[in-house]
Amino acid sequence: MGTLTMRNPATGEVLGTLPEATPEEAQQAMERARQAFSLWGSTPVAARIHYLRNLRHYLVENGEALAQKISEATGKVALEAYMTEIFITADTIRFYEKHAERMLAPRKVSTPLALAPKTSSIYYKPMGVIAVISPWNYPFQLSVVPVLSALAAGNTVILKPSEVTPSVGLIIEEMFRAVPAPAEIVQVLHGGREAGQALVAARPDKIFFTGSVASGKKIMAQAAEHLIPVELELGGKDPMIVLEDAHLERAAAGAVWGAFTNSGQVCMSVERVYVQERVYPEFLRLVKEKTAALRQSPSGIGEIGSMTSPDQIRIVREHVEEALSRGAVAETGGTFSDEGMFLAPTILTKVTHDMKIMREETFGPVLPIMTFSAEEEAIRLANDSPYGLNASVWSQDKAKARRVALQLASGNVCINDVIVSYANPALPFGGVKESGIGRYRGPEGLQAFTHPVSVIHDPGKRKREINWYPYTEEQQSLFIGLTHTLYGKSGFWPPIKRGERPPLLKAALREWRRLFR
């Protein structure tokens, strides 16, 4: 059994160690989760939401202390930890308190005339045990929100937090223990890749994974052996299109925050900027000015904290140095030290679309900027990517901004803002192409943790249905007539040819009346 070291990346301080779960422990956790599901799955939605409400109260009462612990585990600024980890989680719970019962309630749907007098309904049943495998960049919120969604839908959950930020896994475990609930509805399985593989091998009823494209593909391949459904929230290379009529002061501020928040370690970071040529000089001037004003400190006083993962620094360095070697210019930053976890915010110009910095997910505080001449060119460049998670369009012309936004190959689009689409819990969140499969948040996201069961109900008073045996000529005429009447151009029963023998129309109508008595 391995051991995880808990460390503050900003200071290098060791916070402790944590044993990794074994495959046997993963299997035991699954057995406990299945036993717990037998009770929790039949618990009324109102009772489940009451539990979530108690979790919200815990978050609010302990939010500042939790944010400080998250800051120490990740190196991010404490205010960012509070805004993006605590506040968003509490807001999501409030959304479920208001709307979960309605979103999970059975609903009637229309029934075709030919099936009258039947009625049709959809019921949302919990799936069972959900495995949540979460990342290190927002280790609290990106763990807890899918866990809460699964719980609200009636499932039990086994969470495998990231081994990069193991102390946050302990914080989450402590929270779920502190708020009274039926035993084992949430269990936390600590560990790295082996623990994740063991969790998938234990055959949960669904896997919800947030992380890299490479890891997502491996999990999907392993899950396919047992046809376990998966939802994948993966990487991004999010484009920002600044049109010449944009509010440049706002656009520049949005670009700086969108690129450098959480040291750029956001799947929805602004990782590519396309600026219309006429406004490029002023936009660049504003971006450089705002970047120069940022403060970076290990004490948490300032705007930018440290990187969280040493492995990610290597990727950022590789992307930046490759771009510089091929002609890109570092307007700010661009240099690296062999020590420490802090990277200076970097602005790159004269980049081209064949550089890694414009094609692969960098996941660090780097802002590459290109120019474009026409709207069509910006759309083409933005869509020239294997990713499609988020994008932003900047223009004061509402119709033009929406026209451009709807031509982007992206699961989420912001107009005159960045990243914020995730902050609205009423909106479904997810990507296209290699940015993922499925949606969570919003009604679609909550229902994604259920099996939709369709139920069609006949009063059961007739002897038979019009499509049952025995087949007759009258039935054939009836169905041909119905097809023409309901779906044909004329909307009328097809004409009877002169001399037809025997005419079936009256017989068919008699058959209809007889069957529906």
Separation CA 150–CA 404 (nearest Å): 35
359: number of Cβ within 10 Å: 17
β-pair partners for 273: 240, 369
Task: Answer yes or no: are the C-beta atoms of 208 and 130 closer than 8 Å.
Answer: yes
Query: Rounded CA gap, 123 and 457, in Å?
Result: 13
With H, G, I as helix, E, B as strand and everything else as coil, classify residue 61.
helix
CA 437, 442, 444, 448 dihedral sign is positive
Beta bridge partners of 436: 233
* 267 part of the active site: yes
| Residue type at 462 in one-letter notation | R
Handedness of CA 143, 146, 152, 155 (dihedral sign): negative
Q: Are 183 and 154 in contact (CB under 8 A)?
A: no
Nearest to 356 by CA among 396, 389, 316: 316
Give dist(CA 69, CA 76) in Å, integer. Answer: 10
Of residues 20, 80, 163, 267, which has the active-site annotation? 267
**Residue that has been written with the tokens 């450089």 in this structure:** 288
- Nearest Cα neighbor of 107 from 126, 125, 118, 122 is 122
Catalytic residue among 20, 72, 163, 233: 233
Q: Catalytic site residues?
A: 233, 267
